[in-house]
Chain A
Amino acid sequence: MASNPYFALTVLFVVALGFGLAPLGLAWLWAKIFSPAKPNELKNATYECGLVSKGDAWVQFHSGYYLYAIIFLIFDVEAVFLLPFAAAFTGLSLAPCLAMLVFLLLLVEGLAWAWAKGVLTWA
């Protein structure tokens, strides 16, 4: 077994795993045996900057947020591309200019679609 070329690697792996897990285990043991736990309702309550927490932490967000986020992301990315496009505009040949316009058209199309679907009016 010791002649196997992977033997040293296995030993190293086990040691590395132990090196990571041993402190965690010791901390867990220390907490179990020695830590002076004094739990109560007030202490275990949800932390909300000192206020009494209202409602559940698992809140559901309106799906409208999702569409807004997507549309925002589109125009965010557009702005990133528009800035260098505007800076280099005078030195551009026809091909990159057309490519950029197609890109813009795609995004405008997306906006038009969202508008037509009524996404922009908050329901």
Chain B
Amino acid sequence: MAVDEKLKIELGKQGVLVTTLQELYNWGRRSSVWPMNFGLACCAIEMIATTMARYDIARFGAEVFRPSPRQADMMIISGTVTKKMAPQVVRLYNQMGEPRYVIAMGACAISGGPFKQGYNVLKGIDRYIPVDVHIPGCPPRPEALLEAFITLQKKIDAQPLTGEGRPRFLDAEAPGEFPVPDQGQHDLEPPSNRSVWPVPITLGNRE
């Protein structure tokens, strides 16, 4: 049940704290997002800087970098995803427990970046796994990563627990498995996961 926002503020001024189960649940969810200890390229250096005292991601409850996907909630794709590495990244994402979030950090992770024309670079990790927040930049500064993390927290906060728009892990119908691509002769097979990344219509592939 939703509480009127104005009434809540008014009650808060009087020293009465009103909350809903959804707010409490989402507060817990967004305040303890543990990232996976996993870096791919130069963006990882910025990610490491974000965890250190100067930028201090611990202020947002995300300082516990776990070396195993079993204990992590968030995957920061920090850098270039080569086609050699993509299957491993997707497999690691699959092995994380629900709820899981993905931040694609930097130009390479979101689109291939300066290596977009390279034969060996994946043109954005969102071709295989659902990405929650994209950060442009090459590399993005630690402030940008913090901003992305705050954006993710806001996104978690806004999610209803039931009905339309609820998170995947609360939806029994939603798929929990994201197929791992294989190394094909020329490209990864399949080149993208159609269920998370609808192939954009271009002049070349219009039917």
Residue positions of A touching B, CB distance < 8 A: 36-43, 45, 47, 49-52
Contact = CB atoms under 8 A, between A and B. Distances in A.
B166 to A, nearest CB: 10
B151 interface: no
A42 B88 contact: no
Interface residues of B, number: 17
Nearest to B91: A50
A47 B70 CA distance: 9
Contacts of A47: 68-70, 95
B42 interface: no
Nearest to B88: A50
B27 to A, nearest CB: 16
Given A45-B95, A47-B68, A47-B95, A40 B177 contact: yes
A40 B89 contact: no
6 A-B pairs closest in CB distance: A38-B176, A50-B88, A36-B169, A40-B177, A42-B94, A50-B92
Contact of B88 (A36, A41, A45, A51): A51
Contact of B94 (A36, A37, A43, A49): A43
Which of A39, A50, A51 has the most chain B CB atoms closer than 10 A to its own CB?
A50
A27 B207 CA distance: 53
A37 to B, nearest CB: 8
Nearest to B68: A47
27 contacts: A36-B98, A36-B99, A36-B169, A37-B98, A38-B98, A38-B169, A38-B176, A39-B176, A40-B94, A40-B176, A41-B177, A42-B91, A42-B94, A42-B95, A42-B180, A43-B94, A45-B91, A45-B95, A47-B68, A47-B69, A47-B70, A47-B95, A50-B89, A50-B91, A50-B92, A50-B95, A51-B88
B170 interface: yes
Nearest to A47: B95
Interface in B88-118: 88-89, 91-92, 94-95, 98-99
A52 B182 CA distance: 11
Contacts of B69: 47
Which of A38, A39, A41, A51 has the most chain B CB atoms closer than 10 A to its own CB?
A38
A47 B169 CA distance: 21
A37 B171 CA distance: 11
A51 B91 CA distance: 8
Given A40-B176, A49-B88, 12 more contacts: A36-B169, A38-B169, A39-B176, A41-B177, A42-B94, A43-B94, A43-B177, A47-B95, A50-B89, A50-B91, A50-B92, A50-B95
